[in-house]
Amino acid sequence: MMMIGLGLAILGAGLGFGLIGYGAMTGMSRQPEALGRLQTAMLIAFAFVELTFLLTLFLAPASFSKL
Amino acid sequence: MDRQHPMDIQLLRLLPIASAEGPSYAGLVFYVALVLLAIFLLTGMAKKGFKDRVFTNKLSQHAEQMYLFVESLCINIIGPHGKKYIPFIGTIWLFIFTSNSLALFFPTAPTADFSFNLALALIAVFYVQFEGIKGHADHLLHEGKGAFGAWIGGFFRHMRHFAGPTMGRNGAIEVAVAIVMPCLLFPIELVSELMKNVSLSLRLFGNIHGGHVAVESLNHLWAPFAMSGNDVYMPLGGFLLLVKLLTVIVQALVFCLLTCVYIGLVTHHEEPHGEHAEAH
């Protein structure tokens, strides 16, 4: 059951990463001189989406098992 | 020495190996010493080239790039007064980056241990709170209050940040809202502040320790093809090295960037002191 939950979590995170990349690439293609700033912003957004998956991976089993 | 565990297990705890719970205390000390050795060796070698006007020593050039990176991070995010946070952010960045790089080659590293990352996150978040309280207290000291009153006032003004936006008090409904809304918002803001510790530490831990777990899983993938019935490990995890390198750089950047953002959020009450000059 935990595997299904983890699969759902990474499904959402994967969609998030794809949207981040899509937005970043669209911006980079519209304005190539903003490449550096867009790359930095993309990595920041990547960290936040990654965080939600890592919270599910590490905190959810700990909080839902008998402590 | 405890009597419950046999002697060889107790001796095993002193070795710098990784177990399911992470390295032991002595193991963590060993890896922190390794990271410090790497940092001191490299900066010592770079320091020799700082005498020239134009750096020819390659390590000095790289050290200058790292300093410029931290400086741009602090000044672009916090503002012009961000210059005094460069040593703090630079130390955190250097340690996290070196420890992450060592995590590529060793079975554990300081940042692959959750308690170490929690310590780093607690230091960063408590430093942010301290800077917020100090900013308000310095403002009150400048206005002429005593030292004790300035710090108490600074503490309460810092807690004022957690109460939500300022509302007007014209009319009964707005007064009611101005009483009820901070009561609802204060727990949420407090939890959000505590979540900063968890998020900073868990992000770093999950990425670096998760890199180790992923490499281990990939190495074990060869087991069905093993000729004997034994556990065979093939270094298939080496294919992840490039992704892990990106993770190493990005996670050091994100930790320092978020700390800069938190510092910028609490230190932005710098009013122009021209109005005080007129009063004198």
- Which of A43, A46, A58 faces B206 most closely, judged by CB atoms? A58
pLDDT at residue B20, rounded to an integer: 56
Contact status, residue B190 vs residue B162, Cβ threshold 8 Å: yes
Identify the three-state secondary structure at position B212.
Answer: helix
Structure-block tokens of residue B258: 């978020």
Q: Higher pLDDT residue, B19 or B206?
A: B206
- From CA B23, how far away is CA B20, in angstroms rounded? 8
B250 in contact with A, Cβ within 8 Å: yes
Contact status, residue B255 vs residue A44, Cβ threshold 8 Å: no
Find, among A40, A54, A42, A41, the residue nearest to A10 by Cα. Answer: A54
In a domain, B146, yes or no: no
Q: Dump pLDDT digits (tens) for B212-257.
A: 989 988 888 887 777 776 677 888 888 999 999 999 999 999 999 9
- From CA B203, how far away is CA B29, in angstroms rounded? 22
Q: How far is A30 from chain B (nearest CA, A)?
A: 24
Q: How far is B208 from chain A (nearest CA, A)?
A: 11
Domain extents for chain A?
12-62
Residue B279 in this model has a pLDDT that exceeds 50: no
Q: Average pLDDT for residues A18-38, to the nearest whole number?
A: 95
Q: Dump pLDDT digits (tens) for B120-179.
A: 999 999 999 999 999 888 888 888 878 888 888 888 888 888 877 777 777 777 888 888
Angle (CA) B248 B86 B189, round 5°: 75
pLDDT at residue B241, rounded to an integer: 92
Q: Dump pLDDT digits (tens) for B24-76.
A: 677 788 899 999 999 999 999 999 888 888 888 889 999 999 999 999 999 99
Residue B274 in this model has a pLDDT that exceeds 50: no
- From CA B219, how far away is CA B85, in angstroms rounded? 42
Supply the ipTM of this predicted assembly.
Answer: 0.85
Buried b (16+ CB within 10 A) or exposed e, B197-232: bbbbbbbbbbbbbbbbeebeebbeeeeeeeeeeeee
Identify the three-state secondary structure at position A67.
Answer: coil
pLDDT at residue B275, rounded to an integer: 43
> Which chain B residues are within 8 Å of A58, Cβ to Cβ?
202, 205-206
Q: Using 50, 70 and 90 to split pLDDT, how confident is the model at B280?
A: very low
pLDDT at residue A7, rounded to an integer: 93
- From CA B24, how far away is CA B76, in angstroms rounded? 40
Please give the DSSP secondary-structure letter assigned to residue B85.
G
Contact status, residue B72 vs residue B5, Cβ threshold 8 Å: no
Please give the DSSP secondary-structure letter assigned to residue B224.
G
- From CA B46, how far away is CA B63, in angstroms rounded? 7
Query: How big is the A-B interface in CB pairs under 8 Å?
Result: 35
Contact status, residue B116 vs residue B110, Cβ threshold 8 Å: yes
Contact status, residue B137 vs residue B216, Cβ threshold 8 Å: no
pTM: 0.85
Name the helix (H) or strand (E) containing A35.
helix A35-64
CB atoms within 10 A of CB A3: 7
For residue B266, what are the contacts with CB-CB under 8 A and spacing of at least 6? B128, B129, B131, B132, B135, B158, B161
Contact status, residue A4 vs residue A56, Cβ threshold 8 Å: no
Q: How far is B47 from chain A (nearest CA, A)?
A: 30
For residue B1, what are the contacts with CB-CB under 8 A and spacing of at least 6? B10
B198 in contact with A, Cβ within 8 Å: yes
Count: domains in chain B: 1
Please give the DSSP secondary-structure letter assigned to residue B10.
H
Please give the DSSP secondary-structure letter assigned to residue B112.
G
Q: Do A50 and B203 touch (CB under 8 A)?
A: yes
Overall CATH class of domain A12-62: mainly alpha
Structure-block tokens of residue B204: 């770093």
pLDDT at residue B10, rounded to an integer: 60
Range of the domain at B124: 7-135+185-279
